[in-house]
Amino acid sequence: MMNIVYQSTRGGESGVTSSQAILKGLACDGGLFMPNRIPKLDISMKELAGKTYQETAYEVMKLFLTDFTREELKACIDGAYDGKFDTEAIAPLAKADGAFYLELFHGSTIAFKDMALSILPYLMTTAARKNHLDKEIVILTATSGDTGKAAMAGFADVKGTRIIVFYPKNGVSRIQELQMVTQKGDNTGVVAIHGNFDDAQTGVKRIFADKELAREMEEKGFVFSSANSINIGRLVPQIVYYVYAYGQLLHSGEIADGEKINVTVPTGNFGNILAAYFAKEMGVPIGRLICASNDNKVLYDFFRTGVYDRKRDFLLTISPSMDILISSNLERLIYLSTGCDPERTAGLMADLAERGEYTVTEEMKERMADFLGGFATQEEDKAAIRQVYKDTGYVMDTHTGVASAVYQKYKKDTGDETKTVIASTASPYKFARSVMEAVGDSRLPEDEFAVIDLLNQVSAMKIPGAVEEVRTAPVRHDRECDAEGMKETVRDILGLNVI
């Protein structure tokens, strides 16, 4: 089998190995790395049905990370998916209200980002050894709430790395913020920016593209990389859980071999649902990919009209990890829809940067026909959480609630009864106040942990260790800056300003 190599969606780099792509994070031209082809699974669904999560991960990841040896890849997988997950299944399925909830929040930071960020440090340090990298890797990341903590938890005190995370002040839940600002590790840095997630993400991309800063970093022995889903080392591990979910359904007899399923994903930066599309292209029998948006419905509008328009008000909602107007990973789908034409992709991305919008052709829309956009308002989100809890006792967070509401609307509008997997992206404890308000308790105490204790009484779900540990943890990070000051803040954290 020929090795997979990677190229930039904008044409500036090609022939890059998977380990090099993981180390770089972002291509030198600002594009995202894509494999030169999406490989097909070389194992049947029946064979996958009896495999563990770790075994499934190897079967998927070996096809994309072809310059990693079997021993290297298995060591990364075994190191990542171990006792830090609170269930042996790693990503179990819960059946509720006529759908299958793929629970991706059983890792150390109780959000789906753990699924990829538990393994990324292993992949990155292995890649550094393979490529004889003698510089300290600086992970630079913007977060809308979950990536930051999961990345810091993964990279904390990992030799040869540092990590700096920017998050929007007042744009994440209190538990999300506490998880970040109490993070241990001598190599971790957390900064609240005065702006929204798009400001943070744009600022990080500008820093990556700053050639002068890159030269200065190199002289001081540093090199940038990313833990955002723009890094192919984040995207590939996310494909695994969709393959695994199908195997679980087959193993339990919920579906027949070859039977198609639909997948519904609460979507902000587009990486999670793109991973489901990759799973489909690899041979998993997936029908519709239902892209669920909140009130910041830029993706819903895009799939409906073919126009991506970020020129709109940015709304803060009860599903803050989806409060995004620039969905970075969509660039990978745009690239595929052009027939892998880097010039056309670069042109559309330039339009987005310069004019705030771009329009795709009918041919490109046809190539994206597997995707269907839907959105749910905050009231519909709360109603879905309340209804599923009332009918089944199952409690979900505010992002999964968006997906549940969109799925129910889709089923009502289309009559499509295809069995559906809903990506459940966070523990309800991460957004306890909004969840408690949704299930019908409007008289809540001000103290966040008192609300968590109430949720514990209502749901009978054990309070995760990730929440208990921040209850009394000291704040270790209190930096703040304006979006324009992000570069200087990075320089300050790394000691580049010291003469």
What pLDDT, on the 0 to 100 scale, is given for residue 441? 75
Quote the Cα angle for 106-22-190, to 5°: 60
Classify each residue of 381-392 as buried b or exposed e, where b means 16 or more C-beta atoms within 10 Å of its C-beta: bbbbbbbbbeee
Q: Give which of 235, 229, 244 is closest to 421, Cα–Cα.
A: 244
pLDDT at 230: 86
Q: Which two tokens stand for residue 420?
A: 């559906």
Quote the pLDDT of residue 498: 62
pLDDT at 227 (0 to 100): 86
What's the confidence (pLDDT) of residue 499? 55
pLDDT of 147-206, one tens digit each? 889 999 999 999 999 999 999 999 999 999 999 999 999 999 999 999 999 999 899 989
Q: Is the pLDDT of residue 255 over 80?
A: yes
Phi-psi category of residue 340: left, alpha or beta, with phi > 0 → left and psi -120 to 50 → alpha: left
pLDDT at 61 over 60: yes
Range of lowest pLDDT (47-61, 345-359, 454-468)? 454-468
pLDDT band, very low/low/confident/very high, at 446 (cuts 50, 70, 90): very high
Instruction: Report the C-alpha gap between 420 and 407 in whole angstroms.
Output: 9
Q: What is the pLDDT of residues 202-239, one digit of tens each?
A: 999 899 989 999 999 999 999 999 887 889 999 999 99
Phi, psi (deg, nearest 5) at residue 428: -60, -20
Mean per-residue pLDDT over the chain, rounded: 95
Q: What are the start-end ranges of the H helices in 65-119?
A: 70-80, 113-117
Q: Which residues contact 434 (CB under 8 A, 6 or more apart)?
A: 173, 318, 382, 398
Q: In this predicted structure, what is the pLDDT of residue 85? A: 96
pLDDT digits (tens, 9 = 90+) for 64-86: 999 999 999 999 999 999 999 99
pLDDT tens column, 382-393: 999 999 999 999
Q: What is the mean pLDDT of residues 353-375?
A: 97
Reported confidence tier of residue 1, pLDDT bands at 50, 70, 90: low
Please state the pTM of the whole predicted model.
0.93
CB 230 within 8 A of CB 332: no
Residue in 201, 286, 271 with CA at minimum distance from that of residue 236: 271
Average pLDDT of the residues in 105-130: 95
Percent of the chain with pLDDT over 70: 99
pLDDT at 42: 96
Q: How open is the CA angle 220-221-224, to the nearest 5 degrees?
A: 105
